[in-house]
Structure 1
Amino acid sequence: MELTVGPNQFFWPAESWSAFYGALAEAPVDRVVLGELVCSKRLPFYQDRIPEALSLLAEAGKEAVLTSLALVTLKRERKLTADLAAMGVTIEINDLTALAHMPNGMGFHVGPLVNVYNEGTLAWLASLGATRVCLPPELPLASVETLTRAGSEMGVAIEVWGHGRLPLAISGRCYHARLHKRTKDNCQFACEDDPDGLEVRTLEDQPFMAMNGVQTLSHSYACADYQIEALAEAGVSALRLSPQSQGFIRLCQAYRDRVNGALPPGGIAANVQETSPQTRLSDGFLTGPSGVSWSADPAPS
């Protein structure tokens, strides 16, 4: 299986953004999706650095892909989306409104925020030019197997979410702005203070989810460590790793070693716990009773 790095979901300083993609050029990954997924207000801070990052990744032999926004609501966002096709690289669609701006005959990828739940949707997207689809992370393994078989017949590569906080929802309201008693238009980029999302806990002080501007994320980090053999057997083309601010290149290496058989099941989880013991892992959407379940947890008595 290949490794795809998904678009950065968070707001990082421009220097950190550039350093991250510079390091990815040397990382053991096959494909990198970059650009702004969550909030168009973040884009001007690093937009002029994207061409350099694209060139650097291409020179390093990586397939570089640009993402569309997950929620297009403004006229300037429609223009940004329309302009993507002129960049000369493959586009990943994360909002179906972007399809209107894809020239006829231009192939594209489909990201995990598009609800591809069945063969009919997959066939429709393939008929429009989709060549690769990253499935929504909430699909169980049985559905992954079905869609992978269908994708193989249609010539569409299927990716599965491999690691990272799961994207659960995108809203028209900005949670970070509201928390700081600001309006969305005057958010003052409060989300920059939380480079991996802001933890949300219940009234009982239990971990619940994370917020990232207008985005809701899982609190736990999905981790396909114990499912890699099953996903490979199902014919999954690639695992998607979602960027995080700390230890990401090491994480990419752990996944590469695991996929290549140089690391046993549980090796990635051990690596994560060693570098970040407070991180909660989960893989329940694939095989567990609930999304937050984790294969390494003891079975209930």
Structure 2
Amino acid sequence: MELTVGPNQFFWSADRWSAFYDDLAKAPVDRLVLGELICSKRLPFFQDRIPDAIETLVEAGKQVALTSLALVTLKRERKATGALADMGIPVEVNDLTALAHLPDGAPFWVGPMVNVYNEGTIAWLARRGATRICLPPELPLDSVARLARAGADAGVAIEVWGHGRLPLAISGRCYHARMHGRTKDNCQFACEDDPDGLDVKTLDGQPFMAMNGVQTLSDSHACTAHQIDALAEAGVSALRLSPQSKGFDAICGLYRQRLDGKLDADAMVDKIVAIDAGLRLSDGFLTGARGADWSGNPAPR
């Protein structure tokens, strides 16, 4: 099984963004998705760094794609989506409106923001040119296995969300701006203060979810340490690891060791928690009663 690094969901400075991908050129991952997934206002801060990052990663032997926005609402966003195909590398579609901007027959990838829930959708996307699909993270293992078989029949590689805060929803409103008493158009990029999203708790102080500008995320970080053997048996071709600000290159290395059989699940989890003791882990969408459930130890806090 291979490792794919998904697009960064958060707003980081341009220098931090560049350094992150320079480090990943040496990481044991097979492919990366670059670009802005969440908010088009963030893109100008690092847009001119993307060609150099692509060159660095390709020279390191990585496959690279560019993501579309998860929600396209403005004319300039439609124009930017149309320009993605001009970069000469695959586009990962995270909003189906992006398909209208791709040349006929051009191969593309499909990200986890697209609702791929059945075999018919996989067959339709394959006919349109999809070569790789990352399934939405809320699917149970039985559904993943069925869709992996459908992907194999259609010649499409199937990925599963392997690690990171789970994307739950995208809104037209910006939660960060509202919290600071600002409008969306005058947000002053408040989301930059929260490089892994802002924790949201219930009224009685229990961890609930996280917000990231216009995006809602899980409070917990998905971790497939205990599910890797089952996912491999199901025919999943790759795990998707979602960037985080702390120790991400080390996390990539731990997943590679786990896939190669050099590290068992419990030892891997211990090392992940040691990187950031504040992480709460979950794998409930695959095998639990709730998405926030965790099959390992310690239990979620």
How far did 1:297 drift? Answer: 4.7
**Aligned residues, how many?**
299
Quick one: distance in 1 between partners of 2:275 and 2:60? 27
Q: Aligned to 1:225, what secondary structure does the other structure show?
A: coil
Contact 1:85 1:102 in 2 (8 A): yes
Contact 2:246 2:275 in 1 (8 A): no
Quick one: distance in 2 between partners of 1:45 and 1:252? 26
**Letter matched to residue 93 of structure 1:** V
Deviations 1:86-137 (A, max 9, x none): 0000000000000000101100000000000000111111110000000000
Q: Give the superposed CA RMSD.
A: 0.9
Contact 1:162 1:222 in 2 (8 A): yes
- Write out the 4+ residue segments of structure 1 that deviate beyond 3 Å after TM superposition: none
Q: How does 1:152-167 map to 2 (within 5 A)?
A: 152-167=152-167
Deviations 1:59-103 (A, max 9, x none): 000001100000000000000000000000000000000000010
Quick one: distance in 1 between partners of 2:79 and 2:298? 51
How far did 1:298 drift? Answer: 7.6
Q: Which residue of 1 aligns with 2:86?
A: 86
> Are residue 246 (structure 1) and residue 246 (structure 2) matched?
yes
Deviations 1:224-259 (A, max 9, x none): 000000001111000000000010000000000000
Quick one: distance in 2 between partners of 1:269 and 1:298? 9
Quick one: distance in 2 between partners of 1:153 and 1:267? 36
Q: Which residue of 2 aligns with 1:101?
A: 101
Q: TM-score, normalised by structure 1?
A: 0.98
Identical positions, percent: 71
Q: Aligned to 1:191, what secondary structure does the other structure show?
A: helix
Q: Which residue of 2 aligns with 1:119?
A: 119
**Letter matched to residue 184 of structure 2:** K
Q: Aligned to 1:27, what secondary structure does the other structure show?
A: coil
Q: Aligned to 1:226, what secondary structure does the other structure show?
A: coil
Quick one: distance in 1 between partners of 2:145 and 2:120? 15
Contact 1:6 1:33 in 2 (8 A): yes
**Letter matched to residue 128 of structure 2:** L
Quick one: distance in 2 between partners of 1:247 and 1:52? 23
**Letter matched to residue 272 of structure 2:** V
Q: Which residue of 2 aligns with 1:51?
A: 51
Q: TM-score, normalised by structure 2?
A: 0.98
Q: 1:107 to 1:194 in 2, by over 3 A?
A: same
Structure 1 spans left out of the alignment, 5+ residues: none
Q: Which residue of 2 aligns with 1:265?
A: 265
